Amino acid sequence: MRGLDHKTVLITGGTGSFGKAVVEQLMKTNCKEVRIFSRDELKQEEMRVRCSNPRLKFYIGDVRDKASVDQAMAGADLVFHAAALKQVPSCEFFPMQAVQTNILGSHNVITSAIEHDIERLVCLSTDKAAYPVNAMGMSKALMEKVALAATLKLPNSATTVAIVRYGNVMCSRGSVIPLFIKQIKSGQPVTITVPYMTRFLLALSEAVELVLFAFENAEQGDLFIKKAPACTIGDLARAVSRLFGSDVPAQTIGIRHGEKIYETLATREELARADDMGDYYRIRSDNRDLDYQKYRQYFTEGNLREFEQADYTSHNTTRLGVEETIRLLERLPEVHEELDGWERPCVGLGREKETNAKAARRCA
C-alpha cells in the first residue's frame, strides 16, 4: 500500500490475533515504523523474538491510562485501535471492566489521536454492537458512538476517524474452531451451544483487508462492514470433525451468558444510508448536530426509507453447508498447522492411520 510509505503506524492491542496478522502485512510494506501498544510484556517479548525486525517497536501501557497512550501516540501517523475486552461471558460477569477498557479506554485513544493530529484512526468493532444484548456488545456499541460523536466536533480536523465492524474471525484467540480442534485431538465431546445458532465466518486475513480498505477509503465518520457468509454451529462442528477424521460425539450445552441465536452486522436503519461497495458496506455518519430547527424534518416527518430493507444478519446472509464450510476451513493456514502431523484413523474407511492435511481431506 503506497499510503503506508514512510508512515509510523500504532496498533493498540497489537499482540492479539488481529495485531499479529496486521503486523505481518505491514512488515511487507515500506512503512517507517510499527508500534505495538499493549499491557502484556510476555506477548510483546514473544512477538519481538518471532518477528526480529528493527522497524517493530513496543510500548507497555493500557488504554485505560491516557498518559501511556499519549506516549505511544506521539509521532505516529496512523492508528489501528484493536485493544478491547472481547469475551462475552467475561464481560457479562465483569461489565465495569468492559466499560473501562472498551468505552473509556477507547475514548482515551480517540482523544489522544485527535490531540496528536494523527492522519487516520480506524477503530475495530464487532457484529455484537448491532442490537447488543450483552455487556461486550453494549460496550462496543458505545465505543462506536464515542468515535462518531468525536467526528461531529471535527469538521476541519487533521484526523479522520473511522470504524470497521466484522463478525466472528475464524481461528482467532478464544474462538470456537480452536476449541473444537482441541476437543477432537483430546478425544473429548465437541461442545456446541445449540445446533441451529448461526455465526458469520471471516478469515483473519479478510479482517486485516477490511481495516486496510478503511484506511485507504474512509471519510470522516465512516463505518465499514465486510460482507461474510455464515453457517450453523452444528454444521461448523460437523465440518471440523470431518476435516480431522473424528467421530467424537457432539454435546449440546445450551446458550451461554449473553449469547444470541444469530448476529447482526448491519441494521436496517444503517443500511438505509449505506453505500454497497461490493464486498463491503460503507455506512456514512449521521452528521446531524443539536440544531433541531435545521433538522426539523427528522423530528416531524421521519424517514420511511429506514424500513425498506431487512437487517443484514447471520440468518439471512449466504448460508454455508457442511461441505462448503470444509472447503472454507481448508483455506485457513491455522487449520493447516493443526492438521500437519495429526495422526488419526480415517473414520469408516478401515484404513491405517494417516498423517497429513491431504490424508485428512481424503477422509473428509
Respond yes or no: is residue 128 known to be catalytic. Answer: yes
pLDDT per residue of the chain (364 residues) written in tens, 0 to 9: 667 889 999 999 999 888 888 999 899 989 999 999 999 999 999 999 999 999 999 999 999 999 999 999 999 999 999 999 999 989 999 999 999 999 999 999 999 999 999 999 999 999 999 999 999 999 999 999 999 999 987 766 789 999 999 988 898 877 899 999 999 999 999 999 999 999 999 998 999 999 999 999 999 999 999 999 999 999 999 999 999 999 888 999 998 888 899 999 999 999 999 999 999 999 998 766 666 565 555 555 555 555 567 999 999 999 999 999 999 999 998 898 888 878 654 443 333 344 444 444 433 3
| Alpha-carbon dihedral sign for residues 27, 33, 38, 39 | positive
Q: What is the C-alpha separation between 72 and 8, in angstroms, rounded?
A: 11
| Alpha-carbon dihedral sign for residues 148, 150, 153, 156 | negative
Q: What is the C-alpha separation between 149 and 142, in angstroms, rounded?
A: 10
pLDDT for 257: 80
Q: Is 269 exposed, middle or buried (0-12, 13-18, 19+ CB in 10 A)?
A: middle
Domains of the chain (ranges, CATH numbers)? 2-167+201-227 (3.40.50.720)
**CA-to-CA separations, 304 to 130, 282, 297, in angstroms, rounded:** 20, 20, 12
- Among the listed residues 20, 86, 128, 227, the single catalytic one is 128
Q: Quick check: pTM over 0.75?
A: yes
pLDDT for 156: 67
Helix, strand or coil for residue 341?
A: coil
pLDDT for 75: 96
The identity of residue 326, as a single letter, is I
Cell numbers for 3: 499510503
**CA-to-CA separations, 164 to 124, 177, 226, in angstroms, rounded:** 5, 23, 8
